Amino acid sequence: MTLKNASVLIIDDDTDVLTAVKLLLKTETREVTTEKNPENIRWLLSRQSYDVILLDMNFNSSINTGNEGLFWLRKIKEFGSDAAVIMITAYGDIDLAVRSLKEGAADFVVKPWHNEKLIATIKECLNKKNAGKTPGAYEFSGDSVIGTELLGESEAMRDIFFKIEKVAPTDANILILGENGTGKDLIAKAIHQKSLRAKNPFVKVDVGALTESLFESELFGHKKGAFTDAREDRVGRFEAAQGGTLFLDEIGNISLQQQSKLLSILQNRQVIRLGTNQPIPIDIRLICATNVPLAELANESRFRKDLIYRINTVEITVPPLRKRKEDIGLLAKHFASVYSSKYLKPRVTFSAGAMEKLEQYNYPGNVRELQYTIERAIIMADSEVLYADDLIFSPIETVKPDNDEPAELHLSTIEKNTILRVIEKHNGNITKAAKELGLTRTALYRRLSKYDI
């Protein structure tokens, strides 16, 4: 079936979205139907079949959890529709959009979209449907690895790989969260390599290590004579990344004064070198990373919220290695291969005891600690088999327990965390979550709104 012969149903409570999409698709498709109220889905599907359904993920602007979209996606499947369902979402709901794919959605589009992109997505979903592919089937061109040493077979890493595939072609600003040693810089490089800017520079700056005096000179550049040691003109990192990607690592460690200067550059999209008054336009894709948890980062005494919104169009959270232990074997074998070649050693294998030791350890230093552990073992090994005694973990790390969530005894926090766990348990199904919590749906929604969930 071609797009010209397709029947499309659009379900969104935003009249402007319905009008815009209907005008766009009116000449591209056979028929376009719009609906504001998802409660009418059963009635609409009973009257006729649709080839494509565009379904919003949020129908209550005061809540914005995406749970309603997932609920109605399941209902569409229960009603027996074989339409390709494309979810309409915002950048902040990428995690929920990924979950929707696992529950049968064919794809998702992110607001605001380019019209050409929306049409291309609909065509692709129709082509997959015509070819007999299951809507929502997980496809990832990179299998278990993107770029050098960014590997993973766990569900968490495959979700990250999927996000990289979806956000890389856009110019969305990305915030990568995760503990030290989890590979945030590798994810930033992978996003750049898969972006439309891949042939242009990728410039990394550890902004957390810059002093107040160096911050402006390093990022914005300076003119000769601007200060005592300015012996020549210097291009700043923003200019150096022109047309490409600027990666600001450890963004959570910069001062409020530095944050203010950075925010001004991002708002105006231009830099002024120290010692001049001439603004220079910049065209960069910004990726930031921090080991500071987002909840802590959002404390305005530490970090400006307006800057968080600027750098956090899409958020990618990298889980610690202890939370994805199914990746340990893959990573260990990869590092063993790398360091065997580097140090001209025979290719080694791991004994059962060695692999068990690797998988039982909690890795407070994450992938970086595993990497150095394997490197040391390869250097010191006397045979082609690594045994448990050959693996010596770093004494500089403090081992974290399996359950590293802080104890929290405040009553409101306990209630919030309980609600979150129950909703997660039921995969976002509000009806089931409310039933288990002993609440009505309305009462649960009030609590979601109260805790800004």
Q: What is the model's pLDDT at position 208?
A: 81
Higher-confidence position of 428 and 4: 4
CB-CB neighbours of 412 under 10 Å: 10
Tens digits of residue pLDDT in 133-183 = 444 433 333 334 434 457 888 888 988 988 898 899 888 999 999 999 999
Cβ atoms 320, 182 nearer than 8 A: yes
Which CATH class, in words, describes the domain spanning 322-390?
A: mainly alpha
Integer Cα distance of 287 and 195 in angstroms? 12
**Domains 3-130 and 155-317 fall in the same CATH topology:** yes
pLDDT of residue 134: 43
User: How far apart are alpha carbons 7 and 19 in whole angstroms?
Assistant: 16
Q: How many C-beta atoms lie closer than 10 Å to residue 197's C-beta?
A: 21
Distance CA 156, CA 324 (A): 7
What is the sign, positive or negative, of the torsion defined by CA atoms of 357, 359, 360, 362?
Answer: positive
Stated as kind and residue range, the H or E segment containing 32 is strand 31-35
CA-nearest of 236, 161, 171, 167 to 197 is 171
The radius of gyration of the chain's CA atoms, rounded to the nearest angstrom, is 25
CA nearest neighbour of 327 among 367, 384, 386: 367
Structural contact between residues 187 and 359, judged by C-beta atoms closer than 8 angstroms: no
Architecture of domain 3-130 in this structure: 3-Layer(aba) Sandwich (3.40)
Q: How confident is the model at residue 93 (pLDDT cuts 50, 70, 90)?
A: low
Percentage above 90 pLDDT, the chain: 32
Residue 409, pLDDT above cutoff 70: no
How far is Cα 147 from Cα 289, in angstroms, rounded to an integer? 18
What's the average model confidence in pLDDT over 265-279? 88
Angle between helices 328-342 and 366-380 (to 10 degrees): 40
Q: Is 369 exposed, middle or buried (0-12, 13-18, 19+ CB in 10 A)?
A: buried
The fourth-level CATH superfamily of domain 155-317 is P-loop containing nucleotide triphosphate hydrolases (3.40.50.300)
Residue 275 gets the label, from left (phi > 0), alpha (psi -120 to 50) or beta, of: left
Using pLDDT thresholds of 50, 70 and 90, give the confidence band for residue 94. Answer: low
CA–CA gap between residue 352 and residue 387 (Å, rounded): 8
Write b or e for each residue in 376-406: b if 16 or more Cβ atoms lie within 10 A of its Cβ, otherwise e. bbbeebeeeebeeebbebeeeeeeeeeeeee
- Interhelix angle 411-425/430-437, rounded to 10 degrees, is 130
Give the angle 330-336-338 at the CA atoms, nearest 5°. 105
345 Cβ contact partners less than 8 Å away, ≥ 6 residues apart: 339, 378, 381
**Domain limits, the chain:** 3-130, 155-317, 322-390, 411-450
pLDDT at 321: 94
pLDDT in tens, 215-224: 888 888 877 8
Banded model confidence at residue 283, pLDDT cuts 50, 70, 90: very high
Q: What's the pLDDT tens digit per position in 14-72?
A: 888 899 999 999 888 989 999 998 888 988 988 888 999 999 988 764 445 557 888 88
SS3 411: helix
Q: What is the mean pLDDT of residues 71-83?
A: 86
Residue 32: partners with Cβ closer than 8 Å, 6 or more residues away: 8, 10, 21, 22, 25, 26
Taking the CA atoms of 188, 194, 195 and 199 in sequence, report the sign of the dihedral they define: positive
More reliable by pLDDT, 282 or 397: 282
Q: What is the pTM of this model?
A: 0.60
Q: How high is the pLDDT of residue 66?
A: 55
Specify the pLDDT at position 54: 93
Looking at residues 241-266, what average pLDDT do you find?
Answer: 91
DSSP string for 319-351: PPGGG-GGGHHHHHHHHHHHHHHHTTPPPPEE-
Facing residues of 412 across strands? none
Which residues have a Cβ under 8 Å from the Cβ of 150 and sit 6 or more positions away?
183, 186, 187, 190
Q: What is the pLDDT of residue 140?
A: 37
**Cα gap 442→450, rounded to integer Å:** 12
pLDDT at 246 over 50: yes
C-alpha to C-alpha distance for 265 and 246, rounded to whole angstroms: 13
Q: How confident is the model at residue 185 (pLDDT cuts 50, 70, 90)?
A: very high
What CATH architecture applies to the domain 411-450? Orthogonal Bundle (1.10)
pLDDT in tens, 315-349: 999 999 999 999 999 999 999 988 998 888 888 99
Can you give the pLDDT at residue 63?
Answer: 47
Res 55: pLDDT = 92
d(CA 404, CA 366): 14
Q: How far is CA 324 from the centre of its chain?
A: 16
